[in-house]
């Protein structure tokens, strides 16, 4: 049965009107996306921007190729982790010099969680014996796996070789407040992801941070799905630690280095175990003993990956031209418009016996920049979408996840993607065997 053409025309008129009113529309041109592709996966790997490509060529040919080792000074490579960190600080409401770009989320979690456990159990100056009482890292059951895995590794290490035990405790999202109330005195660090990667649920950073602080708990936020797409106020919320990656909404490129934030008030007391030379207060003294840098550089470990970080540095400049509140407004508008197109188009077909169900908050303004649907064939549906030029992703076991990166998507993209998705659902194209072949990366 053909889709109601009256409906298609009405939706197209709406999409074009929304495009015309979009204050960020001119940025679409900044990205180098293949023609005819609708990229709804900027939440997993942001696309290449023109300025990032220019820098990639420049850093390889000019800075590395011609400048060789002199570029550490002449192009200030040595300060790049902090230069890039400061750009991320502006985007996350952090003080200047409180964010550093380095390593991955996983590695940065190791540094900050160990530092947090040590800090929480520091001997008070007048007590004779160390009596570690805060051993728990409290997190959410459905947090991103690496966040939980890193605590499990730390738990094994700390419990076998140190006097500071570590214990991962995970609870459901709606039990976090109860767990803080009940176990507050034994919790060292509350580790949460601001926006849930599966369903896009957003935590209230302000209230959870202040509740944890009342119990003497340090708070670490993972900003993987927030940085560059949602307003974040690390300083205003008095957050202790944060980590994030830069290859998602920040468009830094595959495997681009992550970032770490430490509240300036904690930098003096902090001690992180990956005490590499780049975190030394004076690396080029080549001194025998480690003495940490006073500043955020103390989180550095080894030599930074300059090529990747330079590309990220250029990609971040696009955020100087936009305001994070406009980005959030557009992200919610794209998200809501896509959802409404899917609902209206689905309703124009006879009712399905195998429909998609919403696996997130129904209100686009209450979720991160994504929509999630549940279906037992979610993997095959995702593959069928990709086959038709709509890139989304699948998250095991049964989630089809569609991301809305507001820098490079238009409202007509939303309509086209919704038309393709509803057609795939109506025709059950996803039952074809070629869409069931599993790839290593989903
Ligand atoms: C993407 C993501 C990660 C990835 O961690 P890496 O160490 O950068 O690979 C971690 N946590 C969350 C919440 C994520 O969404």
Answer yes or no: is the C-beta of 193 below 6 A from any ligand 1 atom: yes
| Residues 300 and 274 sit within 8 Å (Cβ to Cβ) | no
Mapping DSSP to helix (H, G, I), strand (E, B) and coil, where does residue 28 land? Answer: helix
Q: Determine whether 265 is an active site residue.
A: no
The DSSP 8-state label assigned to residue 374 in this structure reads: E
* Beta strands in 156-273, from DSSP E residues, in sequence order: 167-171, 187-193, 218-222, 241-244, 259-262
pLDDT digit of tens for each residue in the chain (442 aa)?
Answer: 456 789 999 999 999 999 999 999 999 999 999 999 999 999 999 999 999 999 999 999 999 999 999 999 999 999 999 999 999 999 999 999 999 999 999 999 999 999 999 999 986 555 554 456 899 999 999 999 999 999 999 999 999 998 889 999 999 999 999 999 999 999 999 999 999 999 999 999 999 999 999 999 999 999 999 999 999 999 999 999 999 999 999 999 999 999 999 999 999 999 999 999 999 999 999 999 999 999 999 999 999 999 999 999 999 999 999 999 999 999 999 999 999 999 999 999 999 999 999 999 999 999 999 999 999 999 999 999 999 999 999 999 999 999 999 999 999 999 999 999 999 999 999 999 999 999 888 8
Q: What is the pTM of this model?
A: 0.96
How many Å lie between the centroid of ligand 1 and the Cα of residue 228? 15
CA distances from 28 to 405, 407, 408 (A): 11, 6, 4
Question: Distance between CA 162 and CA 179 in Å, rounded?
Answer: 26
Question: Distance between CA 25 and CA 33 in Å, rounded?
Answer: 15
Question: Distance between CA 437 and CA 89 in Å, rounded?
Answer: 42
The b-or-e profile of 210-219 (16+ CB within 10 A means b, else e) is ebbbeeebbb
Q: Determine whether 401 is an active site residue.
A: yes
Q: Bridge-partner residues for 260, per DSSP? A: 100, 243
- Given 82, 87, 248, 416, the catalytic residue: 248
Q: What H or E segment, with its residue span, contains residue 390?
A: strand 390-391
- Given 31, 39, 144, 249, the catalytic residue: 144
Q: Determine whether 247 is an active site residue.
A: yes
Residue of the nearest CA to atom 2 in ligand 1? 224
How many Å lie between the centroid of ligand 1 and the Cα of residue 146? 7
- Given 247, 249, 261, 404, the catalytic residue: 247
Shortest CA distance to 257 belongs to which of 143, 146, 107, 112? Answer: 107
């Amino acid at each position: 049965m053909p889709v109601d053409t009256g409906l298609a025309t009405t939706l197209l008129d709406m999409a074009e009107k929304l495009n015309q009113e979009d204050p960020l529309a001119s940025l679409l041109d900044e990205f180098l996306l293949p023609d005819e592709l609708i990229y709804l996966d900027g939440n997993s790997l942001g696309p290449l921007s023109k300025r990032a490509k220019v820098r990639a060529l420049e850093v390889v040919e000019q800075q590395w190729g011609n400048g060789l080792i002199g570029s550490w000074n002449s192009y200030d490579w040595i300060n790049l982790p902090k230069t890039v960190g400061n750009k991320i600080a502006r985007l996350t409401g952090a003080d200047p010099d409180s964010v550093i770009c380095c390593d991955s989320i996983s590695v940065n979690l190791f540094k900050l969680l160990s530092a947090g456990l040590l800090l929480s159990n520091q001997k008070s100056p007048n007590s004779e014996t160390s009596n570690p009482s805060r051993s728990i890292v409290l997190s959410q059951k459905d947090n991103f796996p690496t966040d939980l895995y890193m605590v499990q590794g730390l738990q094994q290490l700390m419990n076998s070789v140190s006097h500071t035990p570590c214990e991962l405790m995970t609870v459901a999202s709606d039990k976090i407040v109860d767990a803080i109330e009940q176990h507050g005195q034994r919790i060292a660090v509350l580790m949460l992801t601001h926006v849930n990667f599966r369903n896009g649920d957003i935590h209230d950073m302000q209230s959870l941070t202040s509740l944890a602080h009342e119990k003497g708990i340090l708070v670490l936020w993972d900003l993987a799905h927030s940085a560059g797409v949602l307003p974040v106020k690390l300083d205003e919320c008095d957050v202790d630690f944060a980590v994030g990656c830069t290859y998602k909404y920040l468009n830094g490129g595959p495997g681009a280095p992550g970032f770490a934030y430490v509240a300036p008030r904690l930098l003096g007391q902090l001690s992180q175990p990956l005490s590499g030379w780049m975190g030394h207060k004076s690396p080029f003294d080549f001194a025998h003993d480690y003495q940490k840098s006073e500043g955020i550089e103390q989180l550095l470990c080894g030599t930074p990956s300059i090529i990747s970080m330079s590309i990220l540095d250029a990609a971040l400049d696009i955020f100087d031209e936009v305001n994070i509140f406009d980005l959030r407004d557009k992200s919610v508008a794209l998200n809501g418009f896509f959802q409404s197109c899917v609902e209206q188009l689905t309703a124009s077909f006879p009712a399905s016996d195998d429909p998609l169900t919403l696996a997130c908050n129904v209100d686009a303004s209450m979720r991160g920049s994504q929509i999630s649907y549940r279906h037992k064939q979610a993997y095959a549906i995702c593959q069928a979408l990709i086959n038709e030029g709509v890139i989304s992703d699948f998250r095991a076991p049964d989630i089809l996840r569609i991301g809305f990166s507001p820098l490079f998507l238009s409202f007509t993209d939303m309509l086209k993607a919704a038309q393709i998705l509803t057609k795939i659902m109506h025709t059950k194209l996803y039952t074809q065997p070629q869409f069931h072949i599993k790839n290593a990366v989903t």
